[in-house]
């Protein structure tokens, strides 16, 4: 069975309480639940992990090598700042899909640049929880071809 890892970056543990008008009312646990249901219905496995620490996210990316078939990541604020995260993603030999709950291109200028996007197969941004579900679908398509 194919295995996909979903990584959530900093502050996403506060979903449902944080800037609800931008990020919606679902908690991270509810989003993870939807991802698990989608994976089950489509016959693959999904694991999810959230960290506020850049180093922990990088370690998770390293550990994904040889263990997962694809990676879906919302790097959150590290999208715009982290060369280290980008380098870790570039070292992976599995498809990477970047997702964002909000549309980063209609927000502040500093959010409109993604350092990680050039490493990704594609980016899905602006559809709330559906960005994750579409990202998971895209990752599954990449490894099912």
Residues annotated as catalytic are 23, 100
Residue from the set 5, 71, 76, 138 that interacts with ligand DQA by CB under 6 A: 76
Helices (H), the chain: 20-23, 28-42, 54-64, 83-91, 129-144
> Which range, of 34-42, 43-51, 52-60, 97-105, touches ligand DQA by CB under 6 A?
97-105
**Contact call for residue 85 and ligand DQA (CB under 6 A):** no
Tokens of 46: 């999904």
Are the CB atoms for 12 and 78 separated by under 8 Å? no
Using CB atoms within 10 A of its CB, is residue 94 exposed (0-12), middle (13-18) or buried (19+)? buried
Q: Which is nearer to ligand DQA, 50 or 79 (CB)?
A: 79
Q: Which is nearer to ligand DQA, 86 or 100 (CB)?
A: 100
Q: Which is nearer to ligand DQA, 9 or 95 (CB)?
A: 9
| Nearest distance, CB of residue 118 and ligand DQA, angstroms | 16
- Alpha-carbon distance of 71 to 136, in angstroms, equals 9
| Nearest distance, CB of residue 24 and ligand DQA, angstroms | 10
Task: Determine the 3-state secondary structure of 39 from DSSP.
Answer: helix
Chain residues that interact with ligand DQA, rule: CB under 6 A: 11, 74, 76-77, 79, 100-102, 104, 111
């Amino acid at each position: 069975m194919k295995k996909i890892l979903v990584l959530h970056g900093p502050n996403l543990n506060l979903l449902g309480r944080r800037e609800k008008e931008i990020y919606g009312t679902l908690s991270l646990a509810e989003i993870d639940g939807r991802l698990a249901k989608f994976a089950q219905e489509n016959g693959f496995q999904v694991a999810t992990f959230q960290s506020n620490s850049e180093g922990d996210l990088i370690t998770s990316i390293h550990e994904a090598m040889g263990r997962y078939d694809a990676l879906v990541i919302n790097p959150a604020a590290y999208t715009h700042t982290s060369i280290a995260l980008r380098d870790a993603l570039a070292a992976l030999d599995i498809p990477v899909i970047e997702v964002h709950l909000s549309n980063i291109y209609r927000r502040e200028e500093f959010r409109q640049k993604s350092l990680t996007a050039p490493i990704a197969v594609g980016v899905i941004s602006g559809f709330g929880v559906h960005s994750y579900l579409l990202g998971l679908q895209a990752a599954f398509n990449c490894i099912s071809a």
